Chains A and B, each alone.
Chain A
Amino acid sequence: MTQHTSPRSSLRRAFCTAAALACVVFPSSAIAQQVDSIFRGFEPTGELQLEMNGSTVDGAVIYRSHRAASYLILGDQLSSPVLLNIRSQRVERVSFLKVKKNDDGTVDILADAAFEPMGSFKLGGQEVRFDLEGQKAVLAPKPPLLGFQTAVALDKHNPAYGFKAEEYQAKTADVAKLNGYGKNTRIRIYFGSWCPVCGRIVPRVMKLQELVDNDNLDIEYYGLPSPMSDDPIAEEQKIRGVPTAVVYVDGVEVGRLNGSELTAPESSFANMLADK
């Protein structure tokens, strides 16, 4: 849903977007960019979404730095990046020019960045409320991703999945075994986008899917609500926890892996399929 903004803020946004583009166009090494010692290493987090005046701001990407105990919100619809500093309980504006996006997907704030105070935030239940550009803004948990999904949809819903997938180092020997597997295989991953452990394990499966080059092997994802028993397919399939992988060979279920068995999915799947 779109947000209505004044011409002045549109102008400001255009300027900031141009400035941000300039940052991208000029290689970071060409400019002396000393990174702040605390406000650095912001990683994308897909747990939360930004709402303004009751509508979700689709383009907003939320980053989190544990080290800085802060959240950084970037988005085309914002005139500048917004920092939620939990230690000071304040909301601050940062110039686009002082935000550096790194190749690994993380974001740093430069050491000479000025933080323009925008007020404080209030906490209520599972919502963080603050004023942003004259509107009521809320950071709240994202609703769960339900039903059949692709890896692309997972990454879009939660950019942290793609970020963590890139970090994962799969065992090449086990990936090679899966590449050589000849039977028609389908792996369905039941997950909860609200489940922290799924947030660590599903990205590994996504990385595996990216690495496997075998037309016989198909991986699909199925998002469940909380509680899981609300989903009829989960009930029918007797899914008792997430993440759970159900493996089918030639259309017949040959086994299941769940929880800790999926910490190295390529090895677990290779072992399971070895004698099938």
Chain B
Amino acid sequence: MSPTSTLSRDPYVKAPPFWRRSASVAGCIFLGAVLLVAAWSKSLDPLAFGEEVRAQGLDFLLSGEIVALLALALEYFLGTALLLAIRRRWVLWPSAALVAFFVFLTGRTWYLDAKGLLPEAAGCGCFGNLVQRTPAEAFWQDLLLMVPALALAFLTVERGGRPLVRLVLVGLATVAGTAFAWKAPELPLDDFATRLKPGVEIDQFCAGSSEEGMQVCMNAILPETQGRHLVVMTDLENKEFLGDMESLNELVWSGAGPRLWVLSSAEAEERFQFQFSHGATFEVLETPAPLMSPLYRTLPRSFLMEDGKVLETWSGMPPVKNFLAETETPKTSDQ
């Protein structure tokens, strides 16, 4: 993929033909857009990206979160530079390295999956490995989306003078994108960053595919969907959740208000321990991690639904006291 011609201000060097420059600019812009979209989607939930960095074993020098932020900064830098058609060697070669690295990662995951070496998703084991796109699909999608565009971008390489205005824009976009990713966990972006938002039907929340041997949707997890239901997604050891246990119990005892369900992807032993330790008056429903994780950035997260449609969402625990205030019947008994 070495450059076949260069653009220079030297009048004695013949400029490459128009089609080649156009194809190069188009490839550059396309690849830049792909990188920026990827960076943006990861910036919405940098903690999940940090987890992925850890899962890939890329946190050997710095923590997963720091590596994630540095990777995002690099992606913003190269993505913006390519989008602005800066076809310099110091942009194209790092971009090629980044693309090669992405393809390597997806290829390695495909290999590990084929050898049965990937760990199973947390949960009861009912569903095997639920995947939205198979490792093979991920590999081929990355390869076909990025490599041809990268090859086109290399058709012509710019030389001479510094594109100062464009560099300033690249710098600003990189700083802004990285700062956004840094602060994103504190911003109220859950409805925007996840698939769980008001108005969505819960039977649209699915993981896996029938073609791969298993698809499970939220309507199979919840025993019923008609009527009003309050759903809390949580880790069973989450302090915020455990702190609200008595309010949740009171809501159940009140007999009024929405029906309460708690979703968790905890392993069987953890659920068993919880069941016999905390005196919960509600059912904890085992939910596979691949089904639940696209619905939150941090746990706990909660939502109210009616007849299978999400009415309201909360980052954290729901305002149980408000629901209790709505109910007319006081707590019936003290155990």
Query: Is there a chain B Cβ closer than 8 Å to A170's Cβ?
Result: no
User: Given A86-B275, A123-B276, do A241 and B126 touch, yes or no (CB 8 Å)?
Assistant: yes
Q: State how many angstroms separate the Cβ of B272 from the closest Cβ of chain A.
A: 5
Q: Are A123 and B273 in contact (CB-based, < 8 A)?
A: yes
Interface locus among B144-152, B160-168, B182-190, B210-218: B210-218
CA separation between A82 and B42, bound complex, in Å? 53
Task: Answer yes or no: B277 CB below 8 A from chain A CBs.
Answer: yes
Q: Which A residues touch B252, using CB under 8 A?
A: 66-67
B214: chain A residues at CB < 8 Å are 240-241, 244, 258-259
CB of A86 within 8 A of CB of B125, answer no
Question: How does the 8 Å CB contact mask read for A56-67 relative to B, with 1 for contact and 0 for none?
Answer: 000000000011
CB-based contact A261/B280 at 8 Å? no
User: Is there an interface contact between B124 and A195, defined as CB atoms closer than 8 Å?
Assistant: yes
Q: Given the complex, which residues of B lie within 8 Å of A228, measured CB to CB?
A: 125, 128
Expressed in whole angstroms, the minimum distance between the Cβ of B244 and any Cβ of chain A is 16
Interface size class of A (residues with CB under 8 A): 35 or more
SS class, residues of chain A in contact with chain B: loop
The answer on a CB contact under 8 Å between A197 and B333 is no
B132, CB-defined interface residue at 8 Å: no
Q: How far is the CA of A85 from the CA of B280 in the complex (A)?
A: 11
Q: Does A141 contact B (CB under 8 A)?
A: yes
In the complex, A77 Cα to B283 Cα: how many Å? 29
In the complex, A121→B210 CA distance in Å?
A: 44
Give Cα distance in the complex from A192 to B124, angstroms.
Answer: 10
**Interface set of A (CB-CB < 8 Å, partner B):** 36-38, 66-69, 85-88, 121, 123, 125-126, 128, 141, 192, 194-198, 200-201, 226-228, 238-244, 256-263
| New A-B pairs, 8, CB < 8 Å, besides A86-B275, A128-B276 | A38-B335, A66-B252, A192-B124, A197-B126, A197-B216, A228-B125, A259-B215, A259-B217
Interface residues of B (CB under 8 A from A): 120, 124-130, 203, 206, 208, 210, 212-217, 219-221, 223, 249, 252-253, 268-269, 272-273, 275-283, 285-286, 332-333, 335
List 30 A-B pairs, Cβ < 8 Å.
Answer: A37-B333, A38-B332, A38-B335, A66-B280, A66-B282, A67-B252, A67-B253, A86-B277, A121-B276, A125-B272, A126-B272, A128-B276, A196-B285, A197-B124, A201-B220, A226-B124, A228-B128, A238-B213, A240-B213, A241-B128, A241-B130, A242-B126, A258-B214, A258-B215, A259-B127, A259-B215, A259-B220, A260-B206, A261-B215, A262-B220
